[in-house]
């Protein structure tokens, strides 16, 4: 039988498998759900890493190439019938003389790490030797649990999961100066074991607001759950899919910073997100409904009101269980959460880019240099408010201070080649020669553009853009447009494209615009680049 081929994985996904397996101590099936691959593939990659005796710290220090060589080289029984149970929480005797367990306490204990129903039955039998046998004990607990709401009925281990989503209802906020009304979005986070809830209002559901709300939720809880379960919101999941959802790189980076995993709820599987849907419903009924007659003039004012009501919600007693969200959180969940990192996550966005022949990459119309040997290579840009970092195959190859000047260049000298003739296919002299095949005016425009830059390479993009206009129009028309551009001193890509689009190149050039060539010692000339 032919060996089954595994789907080719990106190095980012392989690193995530190793992080979740070695650092977060997650099982293969949970990792498979988080990374949207088969659990057998997860097991195979982890076994190769563990077989070499490597720790997660060792893997972090490896380059993508080293890690790639390392990892690529090498049903439950049927329940028996039982008698009817007593009331919820009744610790007295039922079904004759047999003592009835306190199912509320049993349900709470099951949320603690390592606690099983079999262990609780053994403890019950030690206190009540004449009590229920194991099978009937489990059946009676199952019947009792069915009486709870779906959000309370599901069993989650303490510190295991946090469910997040936005409420469908918004809250109007009035600008005190302009009187404009803007709808604020309501973010909801619910811990799986205790139902402890965090809620806040933001202006939108964008990526920056989405990740910032997670950070504030972690700080409110004083710790981090091992798994975060979002709905397939576009801010967090780039491509919703039942089998293979792609996590947004920024969202993934935030999760990595806090040591948690992202496992999106499956599409059209409401039980996957019953906890947060129940939490959203409670927030809408107990918080947003209470605020319906109040008028808010700022987001801070709205969040102060929400914070007060969330505190009351978390302290409100359960109807069918002992205690409240707050007491359950303090008793079973707080200690089970992962510790917060020493530094808060700094929001950063990611973008793919390809290095141009001028060894610069573009971000918001500004150009940043990278090492010249990466010309035509695909790289990843990570940018914050203050910095721009460039990564190639997982390694940072350049870092710049963020600059928002449109059309400008940020160039580091160490990124420039020592000799274009030796290292690069594209040189200033070659581009001028190519322009000369179109005509003298075209060559003059190209030379003028490169002379106007601090480094000639910074004019490559404009020059190539001008030469490519010959494909859409013709070489003859491009030469005529460049002749007019020289006459009006409009030697730029936008100017020449405008001349061609408006057909001005086909009109005769007024004699007053024709100027004799200028010779001056400070003009470089085409021979300068040879």
Looking at the structure, tell me whether residues 467 and 323 fall in a common domain.
no
CB 163 within 8 A of CB 172: no
* Together in a domain, 378 and 494: no
169 & 316 share domain: yes
pLDDT at residue 113 is higher than 80: no
Specify the DSSP element, H or E, that contains 210.
helix 207-221
**Pairing relationship of beta strands 395-401 and 409-410 according to DSSP bridges:** unpaired
Instruction: Give me the phi and psi of 290, to 5 degrees please.
Output: -70, -25
Specify if 383 maps to a domain: yes
Asked if 263 and 209 sit in the same domain, the reply is: yes
Residues in the chain: 530
Range in 90-99, 104-113, 205-214, 465-474 with the lowest mean pLDDT: 90-99
Kindly report, residue by residue over 263-273, the tens digit of the pLDDT. 887 665 656 56
Q: Domain holding 275: CATH number?
A: 3.30.420.10
Query: Based on the domain organization, do 457 and 412 belong to the same domain?
Result: no
Query: Given this model, what pLDDT does residue 154 score?
Result: 57
Is there a single domain that holds both residue 200 and residue 314? Answer: yes
Helix residue spans in 297-419 (DSSP H):
299-315, 325-328
Tens of pLDDT along 12-44? 888 888 888 888 888 888 888 888 888 888 888
- Give the whole-number percent of the chain exceeding pLDDT 70: 80
Residue 152 resides in a domain? no
- Among 89, 112, 147, residue at a domain's last position: 147
> Is 328 contained in some domain?
yes
pLDDT over 70 at 238, yes or no? no
The CA distance from 33 to 36, in Å, is 5
Residue 115: which domain range? 103-147
Residue 83 in domain? no
pLDDT for the residue numbered 434: 84
Q: Is 514 exposed, middle or buried (0-12, 13-18, 19+ CB in 10 A)?
A: exposed
How many Å apart are CA 213 and CA 470, to the nearest integer?
51
Asked if residue 399 belongs to a domain, the reply is yes
Average pLDDT (128-137) is: 84
Do 324 and 370 share a domain, yes or no? no
Which of 69, 7, 19 has the alpha carbon at shortest distance from 393? 69
- Residue 465 or residue 9, greater confidence: 465
Q: State the pLDDT at residue 3.
A: 42
Of the candidate ranges 66-75, 102-111, 268-277, the one whose mean pLDDT is the lowest? 268-277
Asked if 400 and 438 sit in the same domain, the reply is no
* 118 pLDDT higher than 70: yes
Tell me what pLDDT residue 85 has. 38
Contact 460, 411 (CB under 8 A): no
pLDDT at 518 over 60: no
Asked if the model's pLDDT at residue 515 lies above 90, the reply is no
Question: Are residues 237 and 309 located together in one domain of the fold?
Answer: yes
Cβ proximity of 446 and 469 under 8 Å: no
Contacts of 229 (CB under 8 A, 6+ apart): 161, 162, 163, 164, 263, 264, 265, 272, 273, 275, 276
Domain tally, the chain: 5
Query: What integer pLDDT is reported at residue 76 of this predicted model?
Result: 34
The predicted structure's pLDDT at residue 56: 83
Angle between helices 475-487 and 493-501 (to 10 degrees): 120
Q: What is the pLDDT of residues 133-183, one digit of tens each?
A: 888 888 888 887 777 655 444 567 888 889 998 988 999 999 888 889 999
Confidence (pLDDT) at 389: 95
Pair 17, 72: CB distance under 8 Å: no
2 part of a folded domain: no
Buried b (16+ CB within 10 A) or exposed e, 104-136: bebbbbbbbeebebeebbeebeeeeeebbeeeb
Listed residues 283, 303, 336: the one ending a domain: 336
Give the pLDDT of residue 12: 83
Contact, 67 vs 46, CB < 8 A?
Answer: no
Do 178 and 255 lie in one domain? The reply is yes
- 198, pLDDT greater than 90: yes
pLDDT tens per residue, range 414-466:
888 765 434 445 667 778 878 888 888 898 998 888 888 777 777 787 888 88
Residue 59 has pLDDT above 90, yes or no: no
**Residue 191 predicted with pLDDT over 80:** yes
Q: Which of 391, 137, 123 is nearest to 249 (CA)?
A: 391
Task: Tell me, yes or no, whether 341 lies in a domain.
Answer: no
pLDDT band with cut points at 50, 70 and 90 for residue 391: very high
In a domain, 222, yes or no: yes
- pLDDT, the chain, mean: 80
Q: How far is CA 14 from CA 36, 120, 243, 323, in A?
A: 12, 39, 18, 43
The dihedral through the CA atoms of 25, 27, 28, 33 has a sign that is negative
What's the pTM value of the predicted model, to 2 decimals? 0.59
Q: Is the pLDDT of residue 340 over 90?
A: yes
Where is pLDDT greater, at 348 or 461? 348
Last residue of a domain, one of 420, 449, 464: 420
| Euclidean distance between CA atoms 327 and 333, whole angstroms | 9
Whole-number percent of the chain with pLDDT over 90: 27
Whether residue 234 is found in the same domain as residue 291: yes
**Quick one: average pLDDT of 297-324?**
90
Q: Are residues 254 and 368 in the same domain?
A: no
Q: What is the pLDDT of residue 242?
A: 45
């Amino acid at each position: 039988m032919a060996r089954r081929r595994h789907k080719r994985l990106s190095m980012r996904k392989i690193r995530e498998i190793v992080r979740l397996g070695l650092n977060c101590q997650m099982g293969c099936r949970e990792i498979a759900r988080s990374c949207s691959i088969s659990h057998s593939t997860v097991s195979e990659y982890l076994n190769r890493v563990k077989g070499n005796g490597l720790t997660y710290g060792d893997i972090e220090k490896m380059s993508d190439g080293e890690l790639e060589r390392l990892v690529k080289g090498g049903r439950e029984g049927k329940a028996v019938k039982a008698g009817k149970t007593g009331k919820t929480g009744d610790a007295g005797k039922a079904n004759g003389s047999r003592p009835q367990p306190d199912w509320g306490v049993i349900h709470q204990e099951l949320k603690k790490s390592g606690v099983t129903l079999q262990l609780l039955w053994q403890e019950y039998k030690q206190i009540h030797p004449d009590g229920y046998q194991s099978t009937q004990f489990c059946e009676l607990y199952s019947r009792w649990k069915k009486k709870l709401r779906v959000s309370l009925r599901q069993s989650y281990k303490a510190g295991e999961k946090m469910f997040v989503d936005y409420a469908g209802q918004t809250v109007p906020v009035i600008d005190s100066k302009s009187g404009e009304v803007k709808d604020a979005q309501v973010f909801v986070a619910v811990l799986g074991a205790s139902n402890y809830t965090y809620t806040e209002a933001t202006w939108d559901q964008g990526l920056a607001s989405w990740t910032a709300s997670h950070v504030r939720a972690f700080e409110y809880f004083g710790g981090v759950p091992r798994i975060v379960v979002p709905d397939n919101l576009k801010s967090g999941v780039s491509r919703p899919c039942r089998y293979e959802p792609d996590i947004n790189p920024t969202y993934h980076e935030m999760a990595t910073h806090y040591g948690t995993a992202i496992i999106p709820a499956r599409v059209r599987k409401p039980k996957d997100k019953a906890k947060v849907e129940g939490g959203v419903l409670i927030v809408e009924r107990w918080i947003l409904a209470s605020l319906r007659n109040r008028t808010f003039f700022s987001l801070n004012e709205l969040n102060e009101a929400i914070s007060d009501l969330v505190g009351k919600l978390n302290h409100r007693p359960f109807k069918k269980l002992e205690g409240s969200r707050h007491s359950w959180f303090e008793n079973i969940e707080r200690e089970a959460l992962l510790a917060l990192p020493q530094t808060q996550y700094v929001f950063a966005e990611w973008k793919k880019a390809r290095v141009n022949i001028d060894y610069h990459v573009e971000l918001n119309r500004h150009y940043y240099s990278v090492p010249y040997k990466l010309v035509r290579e695909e790289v990843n840009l990570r940018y914050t408010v203050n910095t721009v970092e460039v990564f190639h195959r997982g390694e940072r190859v350049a870092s710049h201070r963020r600059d928002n000047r449109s059309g400008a260049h940020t160039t580091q000298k160490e990124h420039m080649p020592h000799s274009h003739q030796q290292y690069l296919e594209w040189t200033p002299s070659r581009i001028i020669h190519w322009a000369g095949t179109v005509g003298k005016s075209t060559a003059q425009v190209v030379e003028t553009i490169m002379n106007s830059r601090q480094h000639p390479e910074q004019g490559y993009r404009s020059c190539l853009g001008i030469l490519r206009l010959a494909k859409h129009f013709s070489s003859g028309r491009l030469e005529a447009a460049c002749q007019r551009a020289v006459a009006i001193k409009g030697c730029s890509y936008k100017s020449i494209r405008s001349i061609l689009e408006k057909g001005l190149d086909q009109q005769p050039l007024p004699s007053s615009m024709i100027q004799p060539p200028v010779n001056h010692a400070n003009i470089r000339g085409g021979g300068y680049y040879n």
